[in-house]
């Protein structure tokens, strides 16, 4: 069953390549290379095709009820098990950028955990969530319903750093 692990490894690799290329595309725009930026965006799009094909082949996409259970489990692992020691070690090592990055993520995964649990409860009852706008803070990822916060309660960013999700 090497293939099962190979699919997981390939999904991990394709996922990270996509995120890197999107970051590299933004940097290429800044550096004055718009066509190189476009090439990075194109390859990022291709890595999305690969990541989703691998995820499908490994049975990682199920119905929404099962997908929400997987999402709740993933968020729970991140804020309860993964991020607390990462944060403590970054503080011990005096690595301030890492400390901030881990603290923001930890706080936001707890929010996601609660939001996904509410969604799970709704879907278990056979209903969609009520239709409401959702906003995300571009600095820390904080995820809120209805309206942007005047001052992000996770990172302190101002209101216009929130993005309305389509």
Q: Of 32-51, which residues contact its own copies (CB under 8 A)?
A: 32-36, 38-43, 45-51
How many Å apart are CA 162 and CA 23, to the nearest integer?
A: 19
**Considering only residues 7-26, where is the footprint of its own copies by CB under 8 A?**
7, 9-24
Stretch that binds Fe ion, among 8-16, 64-72, 87-95, 122-130 (CB under 5 A): 8-16
Radius of gyration for the alpha carbons in the chain, expressed in angstroms and rounded: 18
Q: Does 109 bind Fe ion (CB under 5 A)?
A: yes
Can you list the positions of beta strands (E) in 11-80? Answer: none
Give the list of residues 6+ apart from residue 39 with CB closer than 8 angstroms, or none.
none
**Considering only residues 136-155, where is the footprint of its own copies by CB under 8 A?**
136-143
Interaction mask 19-58, Fe ion, x per CB under 5 A: ----------------------------x--x--------
CA 162 to chain centre: 15
Between the CA atoms of 75, 133, 52 and 27, what dihedral angle is there, to the nearest 10 degrees? -90
Residues listed for the chain? 166
Candidate residues 112, 115, 135, 144; the one interacting with Fe ion per rule CB under 5 A: 112
Stretch that binds Fe ion, among 30-38, 62-70, 74-82, 87-95 (CB under 5 A): 74-82
Number of residues that bind Fe ion (CB under 5 A): 15
Q: Taking a C-beta distance cutoff of 8 angstroms, is the pair 29, 37 a contact?
A: yes
Q: Does 71 bind its own copies (CB under 8 A)?
A: yes
CB of 121 vs its own copies, minimal distance in Å? 11
């Amino acid at each position: 069953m090497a293939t099962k692990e190979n699919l997981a490894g390939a999904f991990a690799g394709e996922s990270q390549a996509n995120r890197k290329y999107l970051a590299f595309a933004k940097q290429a725009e800044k550096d004055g290379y718009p066509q190189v930026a476009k090439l990075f965006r194109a390859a990022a799009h291709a890595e999305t095709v690969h990541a989703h094909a691998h995820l499908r082949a490994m049975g990682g996409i199920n119905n929404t009820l099962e997908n929400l259970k997987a999402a709740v489990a993933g968020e729970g692992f991140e804020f309860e098990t993964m991020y607390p020691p990462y944060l403590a070690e970054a503080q011990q090592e005096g690595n301030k950028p890492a400390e901030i990055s881990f603290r923001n993520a930890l706080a936001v995964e707890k929010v996601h955990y609660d939001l996904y649990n509410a969604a799970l409860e709704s879907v278990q009852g056979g209903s969609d969530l009520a239709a409401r706008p959702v906003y995300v803070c571009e600095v820390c990822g904080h995820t809120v319903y209805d309206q942007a916060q005047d001052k992000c309660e996770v990172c302190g960013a101002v209101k216009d750093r929130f993005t309305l999700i389509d």
